[in-house]
Amino acid sequence: MASYPPVQIPVDKDEQRKGIFCGIVIEVTAPTIPEPDDYPSWSELIEATVQLHKCGEQPSAADYQAAEMLLLQKSQIDSFPEEYKLLKAKRPIPSNSRLLTLSPEYDESSQIIRVGGRLRRAEGLETSAIHPIVLDPHHTVTKLLIKDYDSKLCHPGPERIFAEIRRNFWVLRGREAIRRQQHLCRECKKWKAKPVIPKMADLPPARLRLQKPPFYSTGMDCFGPFQIKIGRRCEKRWGIIFKCLTTRCVHLDLLTSIDTDSFLMALRRFVARRGRPWELFSDQGTNFHGGEKELLKRRLHLSALNYNNIWLSRKYPSISTHQMPHTSVVPGSARFVLSKQPFVSPLAHKQ
């Protein structure tokens, strides 16, 4: 094949156009603040920021507000650097930005990013509520802020803290950030901890008299008073309960007063009706103490006289008594009788 020489096209240099760059260069300078990781609380970080900028002068309330805005501005520059530059230049943010759904706006007065929206004409709402400040949940400033709200509100639930923070700030994935912070909070763990249910001890021997008759081991207690009407006058009456600790049988009786004699008469009626118990459990009531001393004294007197009379044995039975401590649960307590009160009241009125 024949080869042709290359053809050179003449170039007119006067027709070439030079490229011209046209753009805006924006330099974002982060404010000078202390390192947030060096401070355990939000108030200490604000105080250090104020002292850094005031250089020993007496700070005012406006200085503390300005320091708070500087900290929020620094957190936004660290968390959203590209969005901050674009919004400051009044240019749209990219479509894959985390702030796209919030319609973010740049506040010229405070130099921070706020949430947009359609509430600009709302009356009675503050600017911080209409356009809250956007914060990143993983920034240290946001964590200290959540910790401060948690401490001021006395460690409530996450929804309570979330509602208070939403008045001024819009934390991305706020509920998750609050739960994460409360999971690390020692006070929140203490208030939300569930008590450990202890293992119950073995039943005492008095509850295991399986081969014994009812009321072999008996717990007793007094309850009341009840108001009764006799003629035109009102008097008080009390109740006494005897409960079998093995079979849960219950014997109820009335007392005219809370003294030793009334208790001994009720005990005699109980023995005559149910048989003599082998042991009695009661609290530290004075009538029970007096009845125990009276029984012991009479039994010692009869033993010294060598009496073996059946009637005297029933009148002063030989029963083992146990007075329980004040802080322990008395078997057969009168609290069991509260549900039996409808049956006791007609009996008291009848008496």
Whether 274 contacts 244, CB under 8 Å? no
Regarding whether 258 and 111 lie in a shared domain, the answer is no
Same domain membership, residue 124 and residue 30: yes
HSE-CB of 118 using CA atoms within 13 angstroms: 0
Residue 125 belongs to a domain: yes
Number of independent structural domains in the chain: 2
- Quick check: is 199 in a domain? no
Residue 166 domain-assigned? yes
Interatomic CA distance for residues 34 and 50, integer angstroms: 10
Measured CA distances, 222 to 29, 136, 178, 253, 285 (Å): 81, 65, 53, 10, 9
Q: Given strand 112-114, what is the order of strands in its sheet?
A: 105-107, 112-114, 133-135, 169-171
Q: Does 276 lie in the same domain as 180?
A: no
pLDDT in tens, 241-295: 998 988 888 999 999 888 888 888 888 899 889 988 888 888 887 777 787 787 7
Q: Say if 146 falls within a structural domain.
A: yes
In a domain, 251, yes or no: yes
Write the pLDDT tens digit of every residue in 33-78. 888 889 999 999 999 998 888 776 788 888 999 999 999 999 999 9
Q: Is 229 exposed, middle or buried (0-12, 13-18, 19+ CB in 10 A)?
A: exposed
Task: Give dist(CA 243, CA 223) in Å, integer.
Answer: 13
89, 181: one domain? yes
In terms of domains, do 224 and 265 share one?
yes
Asked if residue 239 and residue 187 are part of one domain, the reply reads no
Kindly give the parts of the chain with pLDDT less than 70. Answer: 1-31, 56, 299-318, 325-351
> What confidence score (pLDDT) does residue 337 get?
47
Q: Three-state secondary structure along 249-284? A: CEEEEEECCCCHHHHHHHHHHHHHHHCCCCEEEECC
Domain end, chosen from 137, 160, 192, is at 192
Question: Per the structure block, which two tokens stand in for 130?
Answer: 């209409």
Contact 133, 112 (CB under 8 A): yes
CB 148 within 8 A of CB 93: no
Q: Can you give the CATH number for the domain in which 251 is found?
A: 3.30.420.10
Residue ranges making up the domain that contains 105? 22-192
CA 297 – CA 300 distance, rounded (Å): 5
